[in-house]
Structure 1
Amino acid sequence: MDQLHFDMQWPRDNLYLSCFSHEVMNYRYHWHPDEYELGILLHGTQEFCCNTETNVFQEDDIVLIDPGSGHASFSREANTCALVLHFSADAFKQFLKKETRFSFHNCHTTTETRDAIPYRWLRFYAAQILDAAIQGGPYAQLTAKASMEMILSILCRHFQPEAVRSLPEQDEQHAKLVHRLLNYIDQHYNEKLSLEELSQFAQYNRTYISTLFKNTVGVNFYEYLTRVRFQNALIELATTDKNLTEIALDNGFSDLKSFNKRFRETLHRSPSEYRAQLLPGHVLGDSTRRYLTSSDVLVQKKLKEYLNWSKERA
């Protein structure tokens, strides 16, 4: 199948890019430790939660998510679809001091800013990347790279990035240790897992593991553990008939009250309210996506619209 999912990389420029178009489904909570996510809603209505903030996006709305920010999206109607770019945090490396990265706090559209020129250019260059990938040929990578660099330039010039502390680069030994710790959490998140148990597993003292975790993952151990628990509980809520207490306990929450509290903090509703809002046939269980194809009518319509905008300005 001609799925719209393309990966490109230019290592010499610290630039790695994943471009795809997909149908927005049920909430799947996730985060990207070292990538930005630029999302453009092509059609429909999307509820988008990032950290503790919730926005409702309409057609042509744009949002940029910083690395490490927990987020999830939810379709409010059928045929809600989006164009998404994931690109490396190191793409801005040449403009920053060591161990810092850019944070873009104000890069998302509102009703008043949706048609502002910088956002129109972002849509144009994102469409140009997807179109080049679809068309292929010897110059597709050249077009995609030039378009991505223009996106980086627009973000820097128009959205007032703030330089914030980034995660330090780790040597191979530390990287392997962190990988072991994350794997251990993935295997035991539904148990009464503590920092003390994690330090015993790694055979390092508690303070060292706590500091290493915060410095390399970006959040402390308990926040990361809660994210993993919530991520898995959210999937079970959408794909099983378990009652809420079972879901909470089976995914490591101490009780239904703590699960409800996290749910409201993140998605601003109760688990039962969310379950009642799920659209039949619009539920995916894990990290897979329902990619659109190049022949999709909505995709072709929006690509044409975004690409023709620059011609209309000429």
Structure 2
Amino acid sequence: MESVQLRYTYENPHANLKLEHYVYCIGSYHYNWHTDFELLVVLKGSVELCVSGARHILKEDDMVLINPNEGHATLGLGRGNIAMVLHIDPVFFKGYFGEDDFIRLELVSDESTRNEARFAVIRQCLAQMMVLNVRREPASRLRYDALLYRLMSAVVPIDQVPDERGRAYRIDRRGKDAVSRLVAYIDDNYRERITLADLAAKTGYNTSYISQLFKGKLGINFSEYLLRVRLSAATAELSASDARISDIAAAHGFADLKSFNAAFRKTFGKTPAEYRGLLSDDNRAGDAAFKQVFVSADDEYVGAKLADYMAAGAGQDAYDSAPRADRDQIRALHEVAQAAREARALLDEALARMGTEA
């Protein structure tokens, strides 16, 4: 029997909820951007995150929130790096901050903050939400919604106000066809030299209208979108092939190696050569299954981690008051965690004994 992957989507149109929740292995940079909020928690290992020109090193149990339309990429440092991710459609906030207002959130933990109660609550809610959807019980939807509201109350500061920087995610559906046409042309022709005038000639729109469409509908200007597309494709080839960096730059629309180096350093804080030097076989193995194969629901390490999150965030009172099915699930996950710890202790003891005998 094929094991269930830790990945699902969830929708509740009555509450403006549209989510995607999954656990996957971190590989090399896959530079991307999207219209959702993305909450990422490191379950195992260490991960480098580059987002909008900033660089964070996230250790086990750390988390970060990526705002809509922010360019970002992750890199697994070392072997066996695993993350849990929740995507949240920003329309969820519509009923709280007003249809014409905007929200941009700041959330990132590090060694000094990761054990704060706020982050423990977020990890607990994410773990329970994952368990509820693995079970797929119809009666769990109400409890699931309650968990999401508890999670978001921990994410959003009590004094949060609309922020004009959040305008980037508000894609006006009017003009969607025009934007789709422009984006499709760039995606197909980014390897060539493209100017606003070229785009106008190919699509029939004037240059000022094109500029307004990109800024008003996507939150970034034409040149930034073109650069993101080129960087995304070139970065993927850096890890997928052994081609010379100058050839990769030329093949993906960069005028020369200097301009590729400058754009890469500004985005990721290092040169393409430095990045390639960090790549490992583990990174490349993760690339082969990127967002296609997710971590299995019967993975012992992840099961133990989710159990720890549920127990640490809930406390004994919450455990005692939980429905029996949830208590049984938490208890079962703890048993897996205990078995894994005992096996690791036996392995460490055997290795120590071998070292002494040698």
Which category of TM-score, normalised to the shorter sequence, fits these structures? Answer: over 0.9
Asked whether 1:184 is paired with 2:180, we answer no
Give the C-alpha shift of residue 153 in structure 1.
1.9
Partner of 1:207: 208
Contact 1:104 1:162 survives alignment (8 Å)? no
2:14 corresponds, among 12, 15, 18, to: 12
Deviation digits for residues 161-186 of structure 1 (CA, Å, limit 9, x no counterpart): 55325235232xx1111111111111
Residue 33 of structure 2 aligns with an amino acid whose one-letter code is W
Cα distance, 1:281–1:249 mapped onto 2, change above 3 Å: same
Cα distance, 1:290–1:158 mapped onto 2, change above 3 Å: farther
Q: Partners of 1:214 and 1:193 in 2: how far apart?
A: 18
Higher helix share: 2
- The number of residues matched between the two structures is 310
Q: Partners of 1:100 and 1:162 in 2: how far apart?
A: 6
Deviation digits for residues 227-279 of structure 1 (CA, Å, limit 9, x no counterpart): 00000000110001210111001000111001001111111111111111111
Contact 1:61 1:110 survives alignment (8 Å)? yes
Q: Partners of 1:264 and 1:309 in 2: how far apart?
A: 39
Residue 142 of structure 1 aligns with an amino acid whose one-letter code is L
SS of the aligned residue for 2:39 comes to strand
Contact 1:248 1:255 survives alignment (8 Å)? yes
Residue 31 of structure 1 aligns with an amino acid whose one-letter code is W
Residue 251 of structure 1 aligns with an amino acid whose one-letter code is H
Contact 1:41 1:58 survives alignment (8 Å)? yes
SS of the aligned residue for 1:77 comes to strand
Q: TM-score when scaled to structure 2? A: 0.83
User: What are the within-5 Å matches in structure 2 for residues 143-162 of structure 1?
Assistant: 143-157=143-157, 160=160, 162=162
Q: Partners of 2:315 and 2:214 in 1: how far apart?
A: 51
Residue 104 of structure 2 aligns with an amino acid whose one-letter code is S
Give the C-alpha shift of residue 285 in structure 1.
5.8
User: What are the within-5 Å matches in structure 2 for residues 1-314 of structure 1?
Assistant: 1=2, 2-32=4-34, 34-105=35-106, 107-157=107-157, 160=160, 162-164=162-164, 165-166=166-167, 167=170, 169-171=172-174, 174-283=175-284, 284=287, 288-312=291-315, 314=317
Cα distance, 1:158–1:290 mapped onto 2, change above 3 Å: farther
Residue 50 of structure 1 aligns with an amino acid whose one-letter code is V
SS of the aligned residue for 1:291 comes to coil
Larger Cα Rg: Structure 1 or Structure 2?
2
Cα distance, 1:303–1:196 mapped onto 2, change above 3 Å: same
Q: Partners of 1:66 and 1:313 in 2: how far apart?
A: 34
Cα distance, 1:210–1:98 mapped onto 2, change above 3 Å: same
Give the C-alpha shift of residue 206 in structure 1.
0.6
What is the alpha-carbon root mean square deviation over aligned residues? 1.7
Q: TM-score when scaled to structure 1? A: 0.94
Structure 1: give runs of 5+ residues left out of the alignment: none
Deviation digits for residues 103-138 of structure 1 (CA, Å, limit 9, x no counterpart): 112x11021110111111000111111111111112
Residue 312 of structure 1 aligns with an amino acid whose one-letter code is G
Structure 2: give runs of 5+ residues left out of the alignment: 318-358
Q: Partners of 1:287 and 1:301 in 2: how far apart?
A: 23
Identity %: 31
Q: Partners of 2:247 and 2:159 in 1: how far apart?
A: 44
